[in-house]
Amino acid sequence: MRLSNMVAPRALLPVGMFTLSASAFWRMPCMARTGVARIDPLVSWNEIAEHAHSIHGGNGFSISAKTDELLASTCTSCAVAEDKSAYWHPSLYFKDPATGKFTLVNQLGGMLAYYLLQPNNGEKNVTAFPKDFEMISGDTNRRNFSYPSPDVEKSLWNKAPYNTQEFLEQAALGFNCLDYSKAPEGSLYRHTLPDKAYLDANCKNGVRFEIMFPSCWDGKRVSSPNKKDHVAFPSLVMTGDCPKGYPVRLPSLFYETIWDTYAFAGKDGEFVIANGDTSGAGYHADFINGWDTKFLQDASNKCTSLSGRVEDCPLFTLQSDDRYSNCSITLPAALQNEPVYEGLPALPGNVPIIDGPGYAHGAAPGGQPGGANPPPIPVYSPPPPPVQASPPPPPAPAYSSGTKLPSGSFAPGGVFAAKLTPSGSFAPGGVFAAKLTPSGGIPPAETGSVPPPIIIPVPPTPTPPPPPPPPAPPSKPIYSTEYKTNGNVVQEILWVLEEITVTASVTNTVSVPAPTGPGYRKRHMLQHKRHGY
Ligand SMILES: *[C@@H]1O[C@H](CO)[C@@H](O)[C@H](O)[C@H]1NC(C)=O
Ligand SMILES: *[C@@H]1O[C@H](CO)[C@@H](O)[C@H](O)[C@H]1NC(C)=O
Ligand SMILES: *[C@@H]1O[C@H](CO)[C@@H](O)[C@H](O)[C@H]1NC(C)=O
């Protein structure tokens, strides 16, 4: 497999993190791709798919993979050896109008799959994905976000039209404009892809595609004809309550992929997703469970570190970068010579560009069973939309650092925002915390990255015995994370829950620059090898 269109994997390293009442999660780094190919067993079962995807995870993935085939993988491109799941999403291309040629945009650092362990109210644990569990989030044919943007306040999400799966699915997409010199935008703030002029002007570090999967399950079906109906979004997309009929809470999956759109800054052209979508509204993603269910259940119960680091889960077997970077799927013969990287006269599969805003009517969102296995399921056909004149799409929402929150409220764009106060606690209704580690004192590595900082837990104060605790400040469970990408340490606040809890588990860590001894550097350098073969 060719990885030349992808940067070398980079280490994911949280530095100092102050967390109050955070919710458990882990962030699965899948820093290498196993392929870019027109494969999609959920939509095009046992046949070549309509459009190209960036594929990550177990190399047992194929046009007809299920959990057994994934578990039989001989490698996985994710950091944890036990995770052979298949994660895939359509790739991003740049179209040069002068030549008419398409080029795959570089994916910076592969992708991240967050497993947010958010149980239902009153419950302690989430339920692991069962064998053969699979799902799609998003709709490849959608071409507009049909609600006000930025989103209305979350307090309104319990009323029509926001209390619908239709809204929640559209709100589950995010296109985060990255400029590490500014405060970060909130996750899932904008639901469509800004145009190229906007990206060039504002998003120096590229754009992060984000997608949340439904986490409420009917508890019965591992799949459904359209790969969606057996699951549902909770009331606040990432958190909140499960709707009737979907009582079982799964790990909440959230994918992030950074595309280096800025590499094309100043060039005339446009970005188009491999499914022919320039709006972003048709972005979607797929998942097939490739965990042993018992193992995943154990991990979900026990790996409840608030750091999000897979290193902090004692059950996980971590792989070396060399190991997970050297993992590719076997392409079906029909795709072995299909170009997908550069100089392409059309999108792979000759997918037409359909700008919208009307519904695109490309590939059916449901599966198209071909073989005897799995048992055939009916093909879902969406009703044709009314024919109507298309108004121009609304302009992209302005860059928002999440600092303009009305105090005390959590509107998306700010929902994910919280202020990192000097005391290390998150003030409700606050602003985004952006923590960029200054490069001073940390010698740059050859690839432009910095050596990993070392996390030193703050030791408990020995004596005297602590005074009675002060009244707990209002606190909100937070998914907060820091990672390094493209040489920058980035703090990302994924989500601040609406509910007040009284849990007061505080993790204090401080971060210091890594030592620069030869042994240390050597270990680190391994992570920046290029893998071209
Ligand atoms: C949740 O996980 C813990 C830790 O493994 C376990 O002791 C407990 O029985 C689990 N609770 C439920 C309700 O499954
Ligand atoms: C990559 O994996 C193949 C077998 O899957 C092996 O032959 C090869 O030596 C590996 N390369 C590296 C650089 O580890
Ligand atoms: C937006 O997309 C929906 C389908 O998702 C479609 O029904 C609607 O007509 C579209 N809006 C416009 C203005 O085309």
Q: Considering only 3-7, 246-250, 302-306, which range has the smallest mean pLDDT?
A: 3-7
**What pLDDT, on the 0 to 100 scale, is given for residue 256?**
97
Q: How confident is the model at residue 480 (pLDDT cuts 50, 70, 90)?
A: low
Q: Which of 100, 138, 42 is nearest to 367 (CA)?
A: 42
**What pLDDT, on the 0 to 100 scale, is given for residue 494?**
59
For 385-394, the pLDDT digits (tens) are 444 444 555 5
Alpha helices in 178-248 (DSSP H): 196-202
Q: Is 146 in the pocket of ligand 3 (CB under 6 A)?
A: yes
- Give the nearest ligand 3 atom to 391 CA: 13
**What pLDDT, on the 0 to 100 scale, is given for residue 425?**
28
Q: What is the DSSP string of 149-184?
A: SSPPPGGGTTSTTTTSHHHHHHHTEEEEEP-TTSPP
The Cα 11–Cα 106 span in angstroms is 17
The answer, yes or no, to whether residue 311 has pLDDT greater than 60, is: yes
Q: How confident is the model at residue 429 (pLDDT cuts 50, 70, 90)?
A: very low
Q: Considering only 135-149, 267-281, 367-381, 409-423, which range has the smallest mean pLDDT?
A: 409-423
The answer, yes or no, to whether residue 140 has pLDDT greater than 50, is: yes
Q: How confident is the model at residue 506 (pLDDT cuts 50, 70, 90)?
A: very low
The answer, yes or no, to whether residue 456 has pLDDT greater than 80, is: no
**What pLDDT, on the 0 to 100 scale, is given for residue 491?**
54
Average pLDDT over residues 263-268: 97
For 20-58, the pLDDT digits (tens) are 335 799 999 999 999 999 999 999 999 999 999 999 999
The answer, yes or no, to whether residue 488 has pLDDT greater than 70, is: no
Q: Considering only 140-154, 201-215, 250-264, 394-408, which range has the smallest mean pLDDT?
A: 394-408
CA of 388 to the centre of ligand 3 (A): 9
Q: Which of 526, 369, 384 is nearest to 446 (CA)?
A: 526
Percent of the chain's residues with pLDDT above 90: 61
Using alpha carbons only, give the angle 433, 439, 441 rounded to the nearest 5 degrees. 120
**Closest CA to ligand 3's atom 3:** 359
Q: Is 394 in the pocket of ligand 3 (CB under 6 A)?
A: no
Q: Considering only 15-29, 164-178, 352-366, which range has the smallest mean pLDDT?
A: 15-29
Coil, helix or strand at residue 35: strand
Most confident among 225-229, 493-497, 515-519 (mean pLDDT): 225-229
The Cα 28–Cα 47 span in angstroms is 29
Q: Is 365 in the pocket of ligand 3 (CB under 6 A)?
A: no
Average pLDDT over residues 467-485: 48
Backbone torsions φ then ψ of 430, nearest 5 degrees: -85, -165
CA of 325 to the centre of ligand 2 (A): 10
**What pLDDT, on the 0 to 100 scale, is given for residue 499?**
29
Q: Is 125 in the pocket of ligand 1 (CB under 6 A)?
A: yes
Measuring CA to CA, how many Å separate 299 from each of 58, 82, 312, 318, 375?
18, 11, 11, 14, 31
**What pLDDT, on the 0 to 100 scale, is given for residue 492?**
61
**What pLDDT, on the 0 to 100 scale, is given for residue 528?**
32
Q: How confident is the model at residue 321 (pLDDT cuts 50, 70, 90)?
A: confident
Ligand 2: residues with CB < 6 A are: 322, 326
For 363-382, the pLDDT digits (tens) are 554 444 433 344 443 332 33
Contacts of 383 (CB under 8 A, 6+ apart): none
Q: Considering only 167-181, 358-372, 374-388, 423-437, which range has the smallest mean pLDDT?
A: 423-437
The answer, yes or no, to whether residue 475 has pLDDT greater than 70, is: no
**What pLDDT, on the 0 to 100 scale, is given for residue 152?**
93
Q: How many CB atoms lie within 10 A of CB 364?
A: 18
CA of 266 to the centre of ligand 2 (A): 39
**Closest CA to ligand 3's atom 4:** 359
Q: Which of 502, 434, 499, 420 is nearest to 118 (CA)?
A: 499
Do residues 206 and 194 touch, judged by C-beta distance below 8 A? no
**What pLDDT, on the 0 to 100 scale, is given for residue 356?**
84
The answer, yes or no, to whether residue 231 has pLDDT greater than 60, is: yes
Coil, helix or strand at residue 220: coil
**What pLDDT, on the 0 to 100 scale, is given for residue 427?**
25
The answer, yes or no, to whether residue 75 has pLDDT greater than 80, is: yes
Average pLDDT over residues 299-304: 94
- Give the nearest ligand 2 atom to 75 CA: 5
